[in-house]
Amino acid sequence: MKPKPFVVDERVRWSDVDYAGIIFYGAYFRFFELGEMELFRAAGVPYSDVFERFDIWLPRVHLDCDFMYPARLDDSLRVAAYFTRFGTSSISINFDVLHLGAGRLAAAGHVVLVCTGREELKPRPLPGELREMLARFEMSESVARSHLGLLEGSPGAQGQ
């Protein structure tokens, strides 16, 4: 079976917009968190179980986002979440937020989590069992975007 990103559909809510009715930048991080939590659940290990089961934390050490197309109040969005890299002690997750009405990327984000021990908060190797559970959602950005109908070189894929 070919890998494909985990997707969840969501609408832009009143609390997500500014006075002009356009989504404000910080609201995208709510969409990323939603995608991340549901991605782990789809992989068979809800976040509520990860920390206890593996005796780890997964703090964020890097977060970035590119904004490409304005979403407005009540617009339908599709949040795609997928893993792009597993390091020795880190996990990279990408998020593509597709504006369903326009068929374009509204935003694209990237987060890096580092596996740490819960007591000392120092990096430690990612548990092999956890990596195996998450691996079916590992793919390149181009593979993930093709599943969203965003072909390489198209305006939606580039956010233009």
Does the pLDDT value for residue 158 go beyond 80? no
Cα separation, 157 vs 137, in Å, equals 20
Domain-by-domain residue ranges, the chain? 6-150
**CATH number for the segment(s) 6-150:** 3.10.129.10
pLDDT given for residue 136 in this prediction: 94
What residue spans of 18-136 are helical by DSSP H?
A: 27-42, 47-54, 128-134
Sheet containing 60-67, strands listed edge to edge, beginning at the edge strand earlier in sequence: 6-11, 76-86, 90-99, 104-114, 60-67
106 class by beta-carbon count within 10 Å (0-12 exposed, 13-18 middle, 19+ buried): buried
Q: Could you give the CA distance from residue 40 to residue 55 in angstroms, rounded to a whole number?
A: 16
Instruction: Please determine, for residue 153, whether its predicted confidence score (pLDDT) is greater than 90.
Output: no
If you ran DSSP here, which 8-state letter would residue 127 be given? P
62-95 pLDDT, tens digit each: 999 999 999 999 999 999 999 999 999 999 999 9
Reduced to 3 states (helix: H, G, I; strand: E, B; else coil), residue 158 is helix
CB 8 within 8 A of CB 79: yes
pLDDT above 50 for 42: yes
> What is the total residue count of the chain?
160
Task: Using pLDDT thresholds of 50, 70 and 90, give the confidence band for residue 155.
Answer: very low
Residues 97-138: tens digit of each pLDDT: 999 999 999 999 999 999 999 999 999 999 999 999 999 999
Q: Give me the pLDDT at residue 1, please.
A: 65
> pLDDT digit string (tens) for 15-41?
999 999 999 999 999 999 999 999 999
The pLDDT value given to residue 154: 47
